[in-house]
Every structure is written in structure tokens, then in C-alpha cells.
Amino acid sequence: MNVTIHPSWQSQLQSEFQKPYFDTLVRFVRDEYRSTTCYPKGNNIFAAFDHSNFELTKVVIIGQDPYHGPNQANGLCFSVKDGIPHPPSLINIFKEIETDIGKPYPKSGNLEHWADQGVLLLNATLTVRAHSAGSHQNKGWEVFTDSVIRKLSAEKKGLVFLLWGGYAKKKISLIDTSKHYILTSGHPSPLSANRGLWFGNKHFSKTNELLKNMGKTPINW
């Protein structure tokens, strides 16, 4: 199966693309995009990998599903296209950044500038049907993205994984905690944040401190 993905990831994941489940997944996704409206656009499905290539990745944030509203999803978890109103979780992310490191709340919710600095913004499921959250779950995407996490854990050292909410925390079992850093908290969604499980986690300053201690360039959040 030929998949258009950044060359640095192509070499790491080529064996995954040859597996039967991935062939089944591709057929499902193609049929869905032909028969109904799906997000993100086809050329953005692997955008997270294009912006944060394998060699440069130093921080990993794991989401669950792409946004399923019109013109929201751009292939990066929690991120929206320029000019799109910020969803509630993203609002809370920016509020925590403002409190944590003093950076003013931004106008754009596009997180490509994070990804370009080596932050892999990885949704567990890379596609979704319009207005139908979770509609492409359990079709094979999770098998693929779990393999991405395992590959990062095995081949790299000193990554910072930010696991927000119960779903993301389940991925700890895929990560070698003896050579990577894991920061966990509640999810930035209002349901979790309003219960005191998100605000004050200081994940953005903590991440940069870890990166600086390893001699790596901190992220300009």
C-alpha cells in the first residue's frame, strides 16, 4: 500500500503500511470520503507527520478524534484552521498557557507552529465523518497510531509525552517510561477542566524545563 507521508516517517512505518489491517482501513476511508463528507481534507490526514518529522519530534500530544464540524480539522489534534472559532478544549489550553507562562491568548487556533518545532499533535483516529464524533473509531486507525507511539518510544530517547484525560493516559503502556518523560492531567474539555482536573497542570512550562535540561530548544508555545 502506497501512502503519501513525510519521508522520515515513511521509512519508519513502511512495514505497517503493508499489513492487512491497513489495507482494510484505507479502503474504508476511501469509501467514506467518496460517499459522505469527512474531515480533515484528504491531503491533511497525515499533516501531523508532515509538520513534525520523525527526527525532529521531541514532544508528543495525543488526542482522540479530529473535529467534526465544517472547516475545523487540519490534521493536528486540538488545532483548527486559521479564522475558525476556538473549540472549548482549545480555549482551555490557551488559558492554561496564559496562566502558566504568561503568553497572551492568541487570535488563531492553528497549532502548526507547535508542530513545526517538533510537537507531534497525534489524534488516535485520523479521520471522522462530518457531525459524527467517533464515527471512524475501531476501523484500524488506533492500531496504526499505537504503532507510531511504540516506534517513537523504541527508536527515540527523551521524548516528552503529554497525556490529557483518561483515553490518552491508556497509552502509557506503549511507552518506555525508563527513557521518556510523561506528564498527565485531566482533559482540557470543560467537563474535566471545570472539575479542577486541567487548570494549573503547568505542562507547558514543565515541558520546556525538561527540554532545556536535556539540552534541547524549548517550545515557543
Instruction: Answer yes or no: is pLDDT of 2 > 70.
Output: no
Cis peptide bond N-terminal to 190, omega within 30: no
Query: Quick check: is 31 catalytic?
Result: no
- pLDDT tens-digit series, residues 70-88: 999 999 999 999 999 999 9
Grid cell for residue 32: 467514506
- pLDDT tens-digit series, residues 124-183: 999 999 999 999 999 999 999 999 999 999 999 999 999 999 999 999 999 999 999 999
Provide the pLDDT confidence category of residue 4 given band limits of 50, 70 and 90. Answer: confident
Nearest CA to 67 among 90, 50, 49?
A: 90
Grid cell for residue 162: 503529554
Q: Where are the strands (E) in the chain, listed by range?
A: 38-39, 59-63, 119-123, 128-129, 160-164, 181-185
pLDDT computed for residue 194 by the predictor = 84
Given 65, 82, 146, 176, the catalytic residue = 65
d(CA 6, CA 69) in angstroms, rounded, equals: 26
